[in-house]
Structure 1
């Protein structure tokens, strides 16, 4: 939409409101379907994030939505604390409800607004950048959010299947350049590549786990 958000076009024909709840992997996701949309295609990635051991980790999710990755990090991966950044007010309402309903509100700080302004700095062991088609506008924000010693960036993107290697190189070179500009001495490498789904003809939804280690 012109606001920069993805809004629902669903029209309510019967009932008093559009709130629905989806149960997945022991987590409940609630949303007003007339205002927000549920993302089905990233189920495998939610499972992968939930399978991580994030005990004692602080995580920053720059595009929290209704809690797609925030909840797996908290409920399944047992993160110590998650900063959840989101600028869609309707998604924020659902996010606050979901962290409450899943009994993890005490370990989640919701930061409403543009993550380039609201995101914390030098606190994170891990940063999630789950925005399609590209999260590049917040790569500087992600680097600034990581601790000085570095950490892990989970960078999502839509990439033509013939341009995967070029995109991997672009990610590494960009994060390396940003870190140097921020006065950080990091060795930046791609730790893992996850091919989540086909987004369209020849367009893959990819996630690269980018490891930033202090030299």
Structure 2
């Protein structure tokens, strides 16, 4: 659970600019987002090969080449480790979510971005708002810190999904 100093449900946008990684703050950031959703800006120093869990690795093997322009989304099903991935074409852009088109420059960046989106999707469900959609809005390269390590910023749009 989030420490008591973490405000709950108050933010439309959370900037996680902690380097080299903000991973320890992801749960707090998800808790801070309003029940109506918002945007997470996640900074991290990412190795060239990126990082991915087994679920993300399986997804990555089914994706088209790295230059493909597709929407990447995860949907939480309300329970931990029960997150569905959906890849949509431009004509299926979710209502109210613009700019979800991402061009992947490097495979490691894509691997990292999908892993972060998946991890955030699993952290978002809460009492009263169990189902969420997490969409990769943007991936930005800030600078290189060392050979094969890049400072990236991932913009994730998080919104609740009504079921029924």
Give the shorter-chain TM-score range. Answer: 0.5 to 0.7
Q: 1:205 aligns with which of 138, 147, 151?
A: 151
Q: Which runs of 5+ in 2 are unaligned?
A: 51-108
Higher helix share: 1
Match of 1:177 in 2: 122
Residues 8-36 of structure 1, C-alpha deviations (whole Å, 9 max, x = no match): xxxxxxxxxxxxxxxxxxxxxxxxxxxxx
Shift of 1:212: 0.3
Shift of 1:184: 3.2
In the alignment, is residue 162 of structure 1 matched against residue 49 of structure 2?
A: yes
Q: Which runs of 5+ in 1 are unaligned?
A: 1-114
Residues 38-96 of structure 1, C-alpha deviations (whole Å, 9 max, x = no match): xxxxxxxxxxxxxxxxxxxxxxxxxxxxxxxxxxxxxxxxxxxxxxxxxxxxxxxxxxx
Shift of 1:181: 5.4
Per the normalisation by structure 1, the TM-score is 0.44
In 2, the alpha carbon distance for the partners of 1:117 and 1:150 equals 21
Match of 2:24 in 1: 137
| Length, aligned pairs only | 101
Q: Which fold has the larger relative contact order, with Cα–Cα distance below 8 Å and residues 6 or more apart in sequence?
A: 2
Shift of 1:200: 1.0
Report the 3-state secondary structure (helix = DSSP H, G, I; strand = E; otherwise coil) of the residue aligned with 1:168.
Answer: helix
Larger gyration radius, structure 1 or structure 2: 1
Match of 1:186 in 2: 132
Deviates more, 1:152-161 or 1:115-124: 115-124
Moved segments of 4+, more than 4 Å: none
Report the 3-state secondary structure (helix = DSSP H, G, I; strand = E; otherwise coil) of the residue aligned with 1:124.
Answer: coil
Contact 1:116 1:138 in 2 (8 A): no
CA RMSD of aligned residues (A): 1.6
Contact 1:121 1:144 in 2 (8 A): yes
Matches within 5 A, 1:104-115: none
In the alignment, is residue 125 of structure 1 matched against residue 12 of structure 2?
A: yes
In 1, the alpha carbon distance for the partners of 2:21 and 2:126 equals 22
